[in-house]
Structure 1
């Protein structure tokens, strides 16, 4: 597990300082994804793998001043960048692994996760951990500001049948991890999967 953490940290640490400048136009896509999550005022929500905290202001706006917003990330440099950007004012930042969260069972109403799924070394157990901390009927959003095909093209790759984010692969994985797939969107402008915590 330490090697998996090191790999993630080695990838993100040198990119943290200029991460936001690399994707300056993603704000509206994040806001729309947060809106699709359907949070209510006063809700408690976690941004899992929050990075520089780009979703935190929209999450705060959705849950209001009485709600609770948490942002967890494995890479300290990304959280430091979130603080420099002032996003710690929108939520409490936690240096934590999404596979082992320091949160009570059923303590959250929802989880938002942007770009997280492709960085999980053990997706099934990690999704089950996200399910553990969400109350029955709570919601999960797996988001990326561009779709699978556009992301693959950006990296000079092609989509393969074994892509974890493909609906035939992700749907059963969610089911086995305590979630029920609610909607699946994969288009050039966004990737957004919404799921509901099973009873």
Structure 2
């Protein structure tokens, strides 16, 4: 495993147990972001980098009992926390890596990724792998329950133009990976970019 993935695992592994208590008010924001995907009942959706699985219950609500909800994460401790919170009842949890998804080509209707883009070891290749498993016309939502400026302020830094989530960076990055960005919102209470898988 690459060094940077080990670092990601260690970072989130150490924080998994108290992750939800540190961010207790995100539920409505996650539900609203999922709603924007407009998933039909019966759809198949992947939460990529699902962490403790906070998006899984709203994803299950969206696709209904006949839909397929998968949560994939690199960090065993995050998935263990998701199970303790009962979120494995909303979707199947997979230990895995966005660099090589254990899924067949064009089998999903959508991918949801919360806080994902900042942690991808090879953003274009990883976004292309996400595109591989989504059918043409399917969707990708890149979400964060806090906007770029508010997050930077919380971390005591400035937004920089080379941030991957800046619209002028993100749009061509997605396009190069087979996605067409259709909406982009970056406000204090949320960041949400939605893209469609090109035909």
CA distance in 2, matches of 1:148, 1:43: 30
CA distance in 1, matches of 2:127, 2:78: 22
Helix, strand or coil at the partner of 1:172: helix
Task: Give, in angstroms, the shift of residue 152 of structure 1.
Answer: 0.6
- In the other structure, the counterpart of 1:118 is 118
- In the other structure, the counterpart of 2:3 is 3
Write out aligned runs for 1:157-172 (5 A). Answer: 157-172=157-172
In the alignment, is residue 182 of structure 1 matched against residue 168 of structure 2? no
CA distance in 2, matches of 1:58, 1:43: 13
CA distance in 1, matches of 2:7, 2:153: 23
In the alignment, is residue 194 of structure 1 matched against residue 198 of structure 2? no
- In the other structure, the counterpart of 2:146 is 146
CA distance in 2, matches of 1:54, 1:47: 10
> Taking structure 1 as the reference length, what is the TM-score of the superposition?
0.99
CA deviation map 1:76-103 (0-9, x unaligned): 0000000000000000000010111000
Helix, strand or coil at the partner of 1:191: strand
Helix, strand or coil at the partner of 2:24: coil
In the alignment, is residue 26 of structure 1 matched against residue 43 of structure 2? no
Task: Give, in angstroms, the shift of residue 37 of structure 1.
Answer: 0.7
CA RMSD of aligned residues (A): 0.5
- In the other structure, the counterpart of 1:100 is 100
CA deviation map 1:92-139 (0-9, x unaligned): 000010111000000000000000000011100000000000000000
CA distance in 2, matches of 1:172, 1:152: 23
Name the count of aligned residue pairs.
Answer: 199
Task: Give, in angstroms, the shift of residue 178 of structure 1.
Answer: 0.3
> Taking structure 2 as the reference length, what is the TM-score of the superposition?
0.99
**Which consecutive residues of structure 2, in runs of 5 or more, have no partner in the other structure?**
none
Task: Give, in angstroms, the shift of residue 5 of structure 1.
Answer: 1.2
Greater mean alpha carbon deviation, residues 1-10 or residues 29-38: 1-10
CA distance in 2, matches of 1:153, 1:15: 21
CA distance in 2, matches of 1:5, 1:184: 28
Task: Give, in angstroms, the shift of residue 168 of structure 1.
Answer: 0.2
Task: Give, in angstroms, the shift of residue 148 of structure 1.
Answer: 0.2
- In the other structure, the counterpart of 2:59 is 59
**Which consecutive residues of structure 1, in runs of 5 or more, have no partner in the other structure?**
none
Task: Give, in angstroms, the shift of residue 10 of structure 1.
Answer: 1.1
- In the other structure, the counterpart of 2:173 is 173
CA distance in 2, matches of 1:185, 1:98: 24
CA distance in 1, matches of 2:66, 2:170: 34
CA distance in 1, matches of 2:123, 2:156: 24
